[in-house]
Copies of this chain bind each other. A is one copy, B any other.
Amino acid sequence: MEEKNSFSFLELEAYPWLLTEPIRSEKLRGNVIVLYAFQMLCPSCILHGSPFAQKIHQTFADKGVKVIGIHTVFEHHNVMGPDALETYLAEFRYSFPVVIDKHNSPHPIPDVMRRLELQGTPSFLLFDKAGNLRSHYFGPVDPLSFGYEIGKLIAE
């Protein structure tokens, strides 16, 4: 039986990572985690989500906040494979780490996306230092409000 709350960052070590070594779970422990779920050809991801993920990554690099991009492809699979994704990330000079969500046939919706019950892309999920999901945004995110949420979690 799958459960929504069964997701743990520990599992992501076993997924394919781009532009980075797999992030070891011990490096995430004690950090506030921003999980950015996207598809490289989704317009709102291209225009809003990915630049904002990069901005968070750069703003809080040394403040105990880790951004992880997760490529959750649920449509147009043939043109959003790892090669295309790598080109996209390199062309835009993105430097946040990216992991690729797994497909378990015959589900069109990939694994982590399904278990976290994401409504689509872009989604931003905020986890506290203990790994608990605390906020979940779908669509464009307001920087002032999101910064506030991060600040509160950092202070815990």
Interface residues of chain A, those whose CB is within 8 Å of chain B, are 41-43, 46-47, 55-56, 59-60, 76, 78-79, 81, 83-84, 87-88, 91-92, 142-156
Contacts and interface: CB of A to CB of B under 8 A. Distances in A.
Nearest to A75: B87
17 contacts: A43-B91, A43-B92, A76-B91, A79-B81, A79-B83, A84-B84, A142-B143, A143-B143, A144-B147, A145-B147, A147-B151, A151-B151, A151-B153, A151-B154, A151-B155, A152-B152, A152-B155
Q: Tell me the interface secondary structure of chain A in the complex.
A: helix
Given A87-B41, A92-B43, A151-B151, A144 B55 contact: yes
A84 B79 contact: yes
Contact of A79 (B59, B87, B145, B152): B87
Contacts of A143: 142-144, 147
Contacts of A142: 59, 143
